[in-house]
Structure 1
Amino acid sequence: MSSFPTVFSLSGEVVLITGGGTGIGLAMARSMTAAGARVVLVGRREAELAAAVKELGAGASFAVHDVTQLDGAGALIERVTREVGPVTSLVNNAGIHLKKPAVETSAEEFQKVLNTHIVGAHALTRAVVPGMIERKHGTILFTASMASLFGIPLVIAYTAAKSAMVGMVKGYSTEFSPHGIRVNAIAPGWIETEMSRKALDGDPARKGKILGRTPMARLGQPEDIGWAAVYLTSPASRFVTGVTLPVDGGVSVGF
């Protein structure tokens, strides 16, 4: 029988987090490092990644990589395996946003969003899973969204991408779970990040609307997502797979 707190420990795990230099990705890295994992942050901006690693300390490192460079996924996993160790947990968190009326969203813009969120995530998943199958151990975590769960106007490409993630989680989990690999997602509600503060502080009406439909009547904190990520990648959730977990203060069930 597992015991507390070791059941929530990530000691011995190597976690690769895409989009890990800022925001929710960095919040997950903070919590996972605190839980004992070795964390590798992946992103396009070296200075941002280096600053995050400096904050996180000796248990963290980074690799510069654009997830849309699909042919580079295998080389990235090989490099991390060589320099840090076999990746035991992949967090597909990298993403881009596009706020635009649906009828003004071009096919090229739509495809760019899908390439980052979906095709890039699949490339990394495909690169990392063979090793996990060989070791019969691994977790894959996606950052979904409230847009995965209900309609939000002016973000049709983002909605399509985040909704596809929910389907990928179900499909991957049924295919990989027999090999000891669990696949889940977190669907964050409105979280207080630097980006959300910039968006909401200058728009009190929008902020009031968001808080008005949030049963807890407040924004979440980045660490709320971070600790949920620890749970879903730790032995505490060893019988949990194929799940999209809302961490949203009740938004997805409230009225």
Structure 2
Amino acid sequence: MMKEISLEGKTALVTGGASGIGYAIASEMIDAGAEVVIVGRRADKLQEATEKLGDRCRWYQFDVTHVDEYDQLLNQVDEKSPVDILVNNAGINIKKDFFDFRAEEFDRIVETQAKAPFMLSQAVAERMKERKSGNIIFISSLATILGMHEIQAYTVCKSGVKGLARSLARDLGPYGIRVNSLNPGFVYTDMLEKTNLKTPERLKEIEEKTPLKGFTQAKDLGMAAVFLASDAARFITGIDLVVDGGISSSFLI
């Protein structure tokens, strides 16, 4: 299976790849032999991440909400090698009371968390289908399984991309393109800290109520993404792979 799990000769495009889950996915894909392109809005973060990730990583400063610039980005990437693997990871969140949510805030989350992965996947898949191969991974959320407090707009989007993965698996399968979503458990990233985990008591509660105890590590998501992108998962498409230590299967949350 070592040969099948390898991503040697593959190029992966990871949005939001400079930090958190995106960085971990980029790191593990490089470790599996892939060339990785990371994109994001902050050049300083991208450059810092690329220096850590090494020679098989390159970066482009890019806002995924700029839909009309996708072809320009992909043309730049394709100059070296076409995208074999797309990881739709970039995202934002706003945590607030449902009754206080404003329309413009909802639109901002939808633009990044739903519209961008939909349209970028379309742009990348258009090129993949010519080669009759490719792999698209969406990042979903436990919010699609569990009712979570004050993240309704985020939940709408993450539920949407989870369903989109299933739909695209059906439509893109005939072109040799596999599509799956990856569902993280509670990963202690900067975004999670800002939106969900504001007290030590809450941290302890999650650790204790997770059947395998503790938090999902970003590396766990990176390794799962490598599996989904590799030939080891060659006959897997349309699934939502949950990596959460069992917390979504527990009544104790």
TM range (shorter): over 0.9
Q: What corresponds to 2:121 in structure 1? A: 125
Give the number of equivalent residue pairs.
Answer: 251
Question: Does the C-alpha gap of structure 1 residues 34 and 140 become closer, same or farther in structure 2, counting only changes over 3 Å?
Answer: same
Aligned Cα RMSD in Å?
Answer: 1.4
2:96 is paired with a residue of what secondary structure?
A: coil
Asked if 1:37 corresponds to 2:38, the answer is no
Aligned-residue identity in percent: 41
Q: Of residues 154, 161, 169 in structure 2, which corresponds to 1:158? A: 154
Tell me the distance in 2 between the aligned counterparts of 1:74 and 1:45: 20
Unaligned runs of 5+ in 1: none
Asked if 1:71 corresponds to 2:31, the answer is no
Q: What corresponds to 2:218 in structure 1? A: 222
Deviation of residue 200 (structure 1)? 7.8
Deviation of residue 73 (structure 1)? 1.2
Q: What corresponds to 1:183 in structure 2? A: 179
Asked if 1:170 corresponds to 2:188, the answer is no
State the Cα deviation string for residues 14-64 of structure 1 (Å, max 9, x = none): 100000000000000010000000000010000100111111111000011
Preserved CA contact (<8 Å) 1:89 1:138: yes
Letter of the 1:149 partner, please give it: I
State the Cα deviation string for residues 156-200 of structure 1 (Å, max 9, x = none): 110101110111101111000111000001110011335556778
What TM-score comes out, normalization by structure 1 length? 0.95
Preserved CA contact (<8 Å) 1:15 1:40: yes
Structure 1 segments of 4 or more deviating over 4 A?
Answer: 194-202
Deviation of residue 207 (structure 1)? 1.0
Preserved CA contact (<8 Å) 1:28 1:223: yes
Tell me the distance in 1 between the aligned counterparts of 2:198 and 2:68: 41
Unaligned runs of 5+ in 2: none
Tell me the distance in 1 between the aligned counterparts of 2:25 and 2:78: 21
Letter of the 1:80 partner, please give it: V
What TM-score comes out, normalization by structure 2 length? 0.95
Preserved CA contact (<8 Å) 2:185 2:243: yes
Tell me the distance in 2 between the aligned counterparts of 1:201 and 1:184: 28
1:139 is paired with a residue of what secondary structure?
A: strand
1:123 is paired with a residue of what secondary structure?
A: helix
Preserved CA contact (<8 Å) 1:18 1:92: yes
Question: Does the C-alpha gap of structure 1 residues 155 and 197 become closer, same or farther in structure 2, counting only changes over 3 Å?
Answer: closer
Preserved CA contact (<8 Å) 1:81 1:87: yes
